[in-house]
Amino acid sequence: MLLWIIGFSLLGSVGAVAGAAFLGMIPAGLKLAPAFAVTSTVLAGMVLFFVLEKLVLWRHCHDSECEVHGGAGPLILIGDAFHNFVDGVVIAATFLTSIPLGIAASLAVIAHEIPQEVGDFAILLDNGYGRTNALVLNSFSAAATLPGAVVAYFWLGETRGAVPYILAISAASFIYIAAADLIPGLHRRVTAAASLRQLLLLLAGIATIAIFHRGG
């Protein structure tokens, strides 16, 4: 039963991860910096995470041929830390603008983080992390919100200039994870019923993120 729950969560997380990148991070970055700069950073970020995943795999595989170990775990933590750091920047910036706006932004961040963190937890479990270890690591990643808020509060001018590029790199990590690590696993079951379930859960993940970003 747990494997079924994790499998469904992973399917939903594919849509949530891709939705967060394409519906949230990239559009927000494009509002703050030139399109070429943002999209170039996304592309460079995907190359960076390709290299990083190779390094992670190399550390765990010492033979020329080895069993593939999912590299999505470390990458999801890095990408989520970037995202949570930016959330902290956004929360601090909005509170400095007005308290009502800050409260609204904080509620929006909490709302869109819930399905994403559940998906991240499922990904960590799928990549061999124990429940306690996955929970602790996910909590550390979520704690990146605090330094983001502190940095934004004291050095808002410098930090705001970096926000679109942090968003772009974070989006790159999520796109890479969805395309390279998660989606290929969905093709292992090719029956019509399995494919339909996959599609519906993928769309549900995207829709969840889209609903939360409509008001943003």
pLDDT value of residue 2: 43
Per the structure block, which two tokens stand in for 35?
A: 């399109």
> The whole model's pTM is what?
0.64
pLDDT value of residue 36: 97
pLDDT value of residue 157: 65
pLDDT value of residue 67: 46
pLDDT value of residue 215: 53
Parse the chain into domains and list their residue ranges: 2-60+68-214
Residues 96-135 as b or e (16 or more Cβ within 10 Å = b): eeeeeebeebbebbeebbebbbebbbbbbbbbebeeeebe
With contact defined as beta carbons under 8 Å apart, do 83 and 20 qualify? yes
pLDDT value of residue 19: 82
Per the structure block, which two tokens stand in for 192?
A: 């019509």
Which among 115, 96, 143 is positioned nearest to 24, based on CA atoms? Answer: 115
Q: Residue 45 and residue 43: Cα distance in Å, rounded?
A: 5
With contact defined as beta carbons under 8 Å apart, do 10 and 122 qualify? yes
Q: Residue 206 and residue 17: Cα distance in Å, rounded?
A: 8
Q: In the chain, which stretches have pLDDT less than 50?
A: 1-3, 5, 58-69
Q: What is the DSSP string of 139-206?
A: HHHHTTHHHHHHHHHHSHHHHHHHHHHHHHHHHHHHHHIIIIIIHHHHTT--SHHHHHHHHHHHHHHH
With contact defined as beta carbons under 8 Å apart, do 88 and 146 qualify? yes
pLDDT value of residue 107: 65
CA distances from 210 to 38, 46, 111, 171, 199 (A): 21, 23, 12, 15, 16
pLDDT value of residue 37: 97
pLDDT value of residue 100: 66
